[in-house]
Structure 1
Amino acid sequence: MKTFHSKSLIATIILFLLVLPVIANDVDEKSLLWKISGKGLKKESYLFGTIHIICQDQFFMDERIENALESTQKIALELNMMDPNMMKEMQQLSVNKDFKNIKGDLTADQAAALDEFLTKSYGAGLDQLGILKPFVLSSMVMLKMLPCEQQSSYEMFFVEKAKDRQLEMVGLESVAFQVGIFDEIPQKIQIEDLAKLVTDDEGMEEFESLVAAYLEEDIEELYSLIADNDMFKEYGDLLLADRNANWIPVIEELIHQQPTFIAVGSGHLASESGVIALLRKAGYTVEAVM
C-alpha cells in the first residue's frame, strides 16, 4: 500500500487546511483552544484548531472544548457545512473546465498507479474520475491512505453539536472562494503532487509525527515538521496569510454579536500572520485554554 507523502503541497493543504508561515514568538503555548476576550466583548468567544482528517481512535474531545462549546451561542467553521447547497456547489466546482481528463497530463506509470488505486478504492478509475480537479482526487486518495479504516472529522462533530443545540452555523468564507484558491495554483504542480501520493512510498512516519504534534497541541512543532515545504513558500500568502486577514473582520462581527465558537484548521492559529496574532493586533486578549 502506498503511503501518505507529507511533503506534498496538496497533502499538506488537505490535512491541515493550508498550514503555517512563521510561528510568532508570543504564541508558544501548547493548546488548540484559545479564549477571546476584551475590546468591549460582553462574553468570551473561543478559537479552536482542527485537523480535517484523523483516525477515529485518535479523535479527542475533552472537557475544556466541551465547556467552551456549551458557553457559546453560534459555531463558525471555515465553510458553513450546514448549508444545504454546499455539497451541490462543491460538486459543481470540483470538475475540470470543459470536463478535461487529467489522464493525459500524467506519465504512463503515474496514470497506471493512480488508475489502479482509484479503481481498487472507489470502483472507478481515471477514465471516470480523471475529470475531477487534482486537489479533489488528492483528498480522495489520502482518505484511503490513512492507517485506519474508520476516520473522524472535527468539522462534522461540530455540525452535530450545532444540530443538537439548535445553534446557528456560519462560514468564514464561501465554497467558491476556497475552491478558487486551488484554481490559482498551476494545475501541473497539483498533478505532480497527486502522482507522488500513489508512486512514493516515503512519508508515513512524517504523517504520524504531524498527528502526534496535533494530539500534543503543539502548533510550533507542527510548523517545524512542514516548514521544509518549498512550494508553500511560493503560495503561502494565497493559501494562508491572505485568508487569515480576510477572516478577522468576519470574526470581529460575529464575536460582538454573540459568543461564538470558531473552529478552523490548526495551521491558521499560529504565526505573525495567524489568527491569534491578528486578533491580538486588533486589540483582543487571546489566551490559551490549558
Structure 2
Amino acid sequence: MTMFNTVTGGFLSALMLAGAAMADPSLWHIEDEDSDVYIFGTVHILRPGLEWQSDEVMRAFESADTVYFEAPVNDPAEAAGMQQILMANALNPAGTTLSSLVSDEAWSQIEAFAPRVGVTAAQLEPLRPWLATIQLGVGFIMISGYDPQSGVEATLWPQANEAGKTLAYFETVEEQIGFFANLPQDIEVALLEETVADFETAPDQLDTLVAAWADGDQATIDNVMNAEMRADAPEVHDVIIVQRNHRWAGQIEDILDGSGTVFIAVGSGHLPGEEGVISLLRDRGIVVSGP
C-alpha cells in the first residue's frame, strides 16, 4: 500500500469514501493579537455524496480574507502551463521504453490493467515511470467511482475565487510536478511497480484512510499515509512529505507575522505525526488549538 499512498498523497492525490455520509474532519486554529489562522486537512478526490462541509469548517472558511492551497492546480488559468510542464517531464529518453525499465511481472500487470483505465500498455511505453504511476493510479480511483470535482480543493477553490478572497499557494505547479519528476530513476520504477502491485488491495485501505479523515482520526491517517511510507520508501517520504512539511511550517509562521484571517487547506497526510505540520508548528512554540 505504501507506493499507492505516495501517489495519492502527493501531487494529484486521490482518496475515497463509499456512500453518502456526514463527515466531521479536523480543523486547527492559531491566533495572536492580529491574526486568525485555520488549518484544514483535505482529500483531493472523493466519491460524490460525502458531506464534509461541517458548520465549523465552513464558518472558518467564510471568515477568511485569504485562502492558501498547496498549488494552483484548480485554477483554469494554470491548465495550459501545467500541461506544458507535464509534457516537458513526461517522456523517457529516446530508445528507452517503460517496459525496459520495470520487471517482467510488473509489465504483465500493466498490460492487464491499463485497458481498465482506458489506455493500452503501448500508449504508456514512452512515459517516464512517475507519470505512468500517476496516470494508472488516478485512473484506477476514477473507474472505482470517484470524481475529481468532488474533492475538497475542487469545491473550495471556486468558492474562494467567487467570493473575492485572496488566493495564495505554498508551491507552484512546476514545483509539485518536480517532486515526482526529479526522483531518481530507481525510485520512480519502484513507485510504479509497487503501485500496480497494490491495485487489488488499495480500495479497502483507501476506505480506511478516508473514514479516518471523516472522523478526525489523526493517528490512523498518520499510520496509513506515513508509517508505511517511512518504513518502505524513506526517500519518497522525505521528498513528498517531510521536506514540504518543514517548508510549510516556516511559511505559516511567516503568515502569523502578518494580520487578518487565513484559511489553509492542504493534504491531510501532511498534518499528523511527529514531522507533521501541526507538530512542527508546536515545536516552534506556536500554540495550535485542535487535535
User: TM-score interval w.r.t. the shorter chain?
Assistant: 0.7 to 0.9
Residue 29 of structure 2 corresponds to 35
TM superposition shift of 1:268: 1.3
Give the SS at the match of 1:44: strand
Residue 12 of structure 1 corresponds to 5
Q: Which moved more, 1:172-181 or 1:99-108?
A: 99-108
Equivalent residue runs for 1:1-290 within 5 Å: 6-8=1-3, 11-17=4-10, 32-38=26-32, 40=33, 42-58=34-50, 60-81=52-73, 83=75, 86-94=78-86, 95-98=90-93, 101-122=97-118, 124-146=119-141, 148-151=144-147, 152-200=150-198, 201-226=200-225, 227-229=227-229, 230-255=231-256, 256-288=258-290
Give the SS at the match of 2:52: coil
TM superposition shift of 1:108: 4.3
Deviation track 1:201-234 (CA, whole Å, cap 9, x = no partner) reads: 3343322221221111111112223413333334
Change (3 A) 1:182 1:103: same
Looking at structure 2, the residues matched to 194 and 79 of structure 1 have their Cα atoms a distance apart, in angstroms, of: 24
C-alpha RMSD of the superposition = 2.8
Change (3 A) 1:131 1:85: farther
Letter in 2 for 1:286: V
Change (3 A) 1:196 1:14: closer
Give the SS at the match of 1:276: helix
Give the SS at the match of 2:2: coil
Deviation track 1:108-154 (CA, whole Å, cap 9, x = no partner) reads: 453343244333422x3233333333333223323333374242211
Letter in 2 for 1:17: G
Change (3 A) 1:228 1:62: same
Give the SS at the match of 1:272: coil
Does the CA contact (< 8 Å) of 1:134 and 1:191 recur in 2?
yes
Looking at structure 2, the residues matched to 126 and 168 of structure 1 have their Cα atoms a distance apart, in angstroms, of: 43
Change (3 A) 1:231 1:164: same
Residue 27 of structure 1 corresponds to none
Looking at structure 1, the residues matched to 45 and 228 of structure 2 have their Cα atoms a distance apart, in angstroms, of: 22
Identify unmatched segments of 5+ residues in structure 1. Answer: 1-5, 20-29
TM-score, normalised with respect to structure 1 = 0.80
TM-score, normalised with respect to structure 2 = 0.79
TM superposition shift of 1:50: 0.9
Looking at structure 2, the residues matched to 70 and 83 of structure 1 have their Cα atoms a distance apart, in angstroms, of: 19
Identify unmatched segments of 5+ residues in structure 2. Answer: 14-23
Looking at structure 1, the residues matched to 195 and 181 of structure 2 have their Cα atoms a distance apart, in angstroms, of: 20
Looking at structure 2, the residues matched to 249 and 234 of structure 1 have their Cα atoms a distance apart, in angstroms, of: 22
Deviation track 1:53-110 (CA, whole Å, cap 9, x = no partner) reads: 2222335211111101111011111102355553333323331354654232234453
Does the CA contact (< 8 Å) of 1:17 and 1:52 recur in 2?
no
Looking at structure 1, the residues matched to 152 and 54 of structure 2 have their Cα atoms a distance apart, in angstroms, of: 13
Letter in 2 for 1:263: A
